[in-house]
Amino acid sequence: MASPDKKTRQEYEKLKAEIHEHNRHYYVEDNPVISDAEYDRLFDRLLEIEKEYPELVTPDSPSQRVGAEPSKKFEPVKHRQPMLSLQKVTTAEEFEEFHRRVTETLERTDVQYITEPKLDGLAVELVYEQGVFTLGSTRGDGAIGENITPNLRTIGSIPLKLSDKTARKYPLLEVRGEVIMRLSDFARVNEKLEEDGKQPLANPRNGAAGSLRQLDPKITAGRPLILFAYGISDRNLDGLSSQRDVIAFLKNEGFRVNDLIRYPSGVDEVEQVFNELTERRESLDYEIDGMVVKVDDFEAQETLGQISRAPRWAVAWKFAAELAETRLNDIEFSVGRTGQVTPVAKLEPVKVAGVMVSNASLHNEDEMKALDVRLGDTVVVRRAGDVIPEVVEVVADKRPKKAKTVAFPSKCPSCGTELIRPAGEAAWRCLNLACPAQVEGRLIHFASKGGFDIDGLGDKLARQLISEDKVKDPADLFFLTKDDLLPLDLMADKRAANLIAAIDQSRRAELPRVIFALGIFGVGEAAARLLAEQFGTIEKLQTATQEELENIPGIGPVIAKTVHEFFENDDTRRMLDKMREGGVVFPRYETERTGGKLAGKTFVITGTLSRPRSHFKNQIEQQGGKVTGSVSSSTDYLLCGEDPGSKLDKAKKLGIDVLDEDGFNVLVS
């Protein structure tokens, strides 16, 4: 094989540099300067050269972000300098005590601090040798972590190569940071997992940690992770004498650093920054559980030293607890509409983040075993944002004697059918479609906002309709009369009339809503819309072959097989026929939307609006527009409700048109 000539080598090096620079604009600065098509052209040319001349490929090539082979296990990595944990404070008085100890040890009162949000992700260390990223590891126990280098390479905000000047000045450099998954990305990942019939992620932190600990880096590459760099391991490098110096250096080298880092002096300024961060917390697109406060000067840090595994020069000032301890009284097993069985912790009621919590998820059998949770245990409960409360820890030293374990059931708690655990899944399932718990779940899903949108049909009423034998499957809803409803609990004449009217109005639901409402395993709102756009009518979808379904962009073989089997099922055919008899129209779905008023326009939706966001998203997409999760230079409009948060600030900064609901209605009318 011929060696590359000088011209090819120069082109290759230029391509690497260009792509690294564009990655920085995109992943670090959120400000791409070229189109996706132009970026793809550069990347394709890079791959073309590497294919012809594989000897050119080095670890810092952009192609290496996704090119590693799956690992069999993670090798241990000993940190050259320990990755210390932090002492915690929870009140201003406790921080004042920390400050007092600092000033007494340093024998001065004018202490400069640096503060940063305490990110809820996974701490990692990145080793650069001669400026090239060669080793990446988890924090582990602080002394020894796990080698996850191939997975970290897939994260776009991690530079694979530093500047030549830095490579010469610091032949060995260890950078530390936190890998997180943003809330908006977490929601999109879970939506896709659910559409694919897979177990959703429990929360953003677990999503980030689990993504980084995949044995196959290609799985990690498909997860939207970002790294915020916050420090280096050495405090004696020439030219870097403080945390402030390090942050400026890291930013200059292409690392992403948090834009909420501040440099307050003394107690009062630190407390002010903490209060401001507390106010901004709910508007952030990532989870934080407090603020890290560090003494800025490295010489002062050396003087203060450390105790055991924590430094004396830093502290984590935690927010008012989103964690709470309480007693676990029982574990019940809930059966969802898809037959998945979920363990639920029944708790002594406790207030968490302002909400009284008495139930918390234990997710699945594996999580139960990992926690080793037992009846009577004192457990730590977490509630972050809109995430369902979950048990995150057992307080082992408070365990009562002879505390009993609870076995995961082998039979369905609702109908007694033998449970199965499909290969590759963490969940046990009941496959009996007539299972009462599943029927109830399907009925609630059928009537939900994303489905037939039957206002007034909630959990309690669904349970009554099934227990009173008024409804055996969702199609029976379209045969209900006011006389059927009036004998039910708390069902006055007006409420019954309103429900009948809501059912009547739902008979002309759009096809995407109908498909979503049917509750096909793995088909969420996005997949339902793709199917509706492809086939246009429920009749064509019913007769679609598995091959036709697989050929739809965005519909993979797993969903295609599930959809095909669903419509081949005799029970499905009978239910659809019954719906037609009940007056459901199944109108044709118009797929030609390219000429809509909003064609080519990109929207971001933020804040609290008068109706669910899905309502506005549907309007935008029906007129040719699209909705994304984050504001960027390619955004055309920000639809803004109450309490919009940081997206409004960014939209104003970029000069993007901001619409309230009235303005939006004028635009789409």
Local structure of 584: helix, strand or coil: coil
Query: Up-side HSE of residue 179: CA atoms within 13 Å toward CB?
Result: 31
Q: Which of 402, 388, 384, 345 is nearest to 368 (CA)?
A: 345
Q: Which of 16, 118, 617, 650 is catalytic?
A: 118
**DSSP letter for each residue of 92-124:** HHHHHHHHHHHHHHHT-S--BEEEEEEE-SEEE
Helices (H), 392-458: 436-446
Looking up tokens 């118009």 gives 590
How far from chain centre, in Å, is Cα 176? Answer: 22
The closest alpha carbon to 315, from 282, 293, 337, 335, belongs to 293
Beta-strand ranges (E) seen in 336-452 are: 340-352, 355-361, 378-382, 390-394, 428-429
* Residue in 5, 15, 222, 220 with CA at minimum distance from that of residue 122: 220
- List the structure tokens of 186: 């977490």
The DSSP 8-state label assigned to residue 242 in this structure reads: B
Residue 662, both tokens: 């009235």
What is d(CA 340, CA 342) in angstroms, rounded to the nearest whole number? 6
d(CA 255, CA 441): 46
Is there a contact between 389 and 395 (Cβ–Cβ < 8 Å)?
Answer: no
Q: How far is CA 498 from CA 137, 483, 487, in A?
A: 59, 13, 15
Burial of 178 (0-12, 13-18, 19+ CB in 10 A): buried
- Cα 285 from chain centroid? 10
**Which tokens hold the place of 405?**
């374990």
Beta-bridge partner residues of 420? 429
Best CA proximity match to 297, nearest among 314, 318, 277: 314
For 513, the 3-state DSSP assignment is: helix
Which amino acid appears at position 552 of this protein?
A: I
Calpha distance 181→121 (Å, rounded): 7
Q: How far apart are CA 306 and CA 367, in angstroms?
A: 35
Residue 289 is classified by DSSP as E
- In this structure, what are the phi and psi dihedrals at residue 503, rounded to the nearest 5 degrees? -65, -45
Instruction: Verify whether residue 482 is a known catalytic residue.
Output: no
Token digits for 468?
């009173």
Phi-psi region of 643 (alpha: psi -120 to 50; beta: other; left: phi over 0): left
DSSP character for 185? H
Query: Within 13 Å, how many C-alpha atoms sit on residue 639's CB side?
Result: 30
Pairing between strand 340-352 and 428-429?
antiparallel
Q: What is the CA radius of gyration of the chain?
A: 28
Strand order, beta sheet including 122-129: 132-138, 122-129, 172-181, 225-232
Taking each helix axis from N to C terminus, what angle separates 266-280 and 92-106, rounded to the nearest 10 degrees? 140
Burial class (CB in 10 A: 0-12, 13-18, 19+), 585: exposed
Comparing C-alpha atoms, which of 461, 416, 411 is closest to residue 440?
A: 461
- If 0-12 CB within 10 Å is exposed, 13-18 middle and 19+ buried, where does residue 638 land? buried
Q: Report the catalytic residues.
A: 118
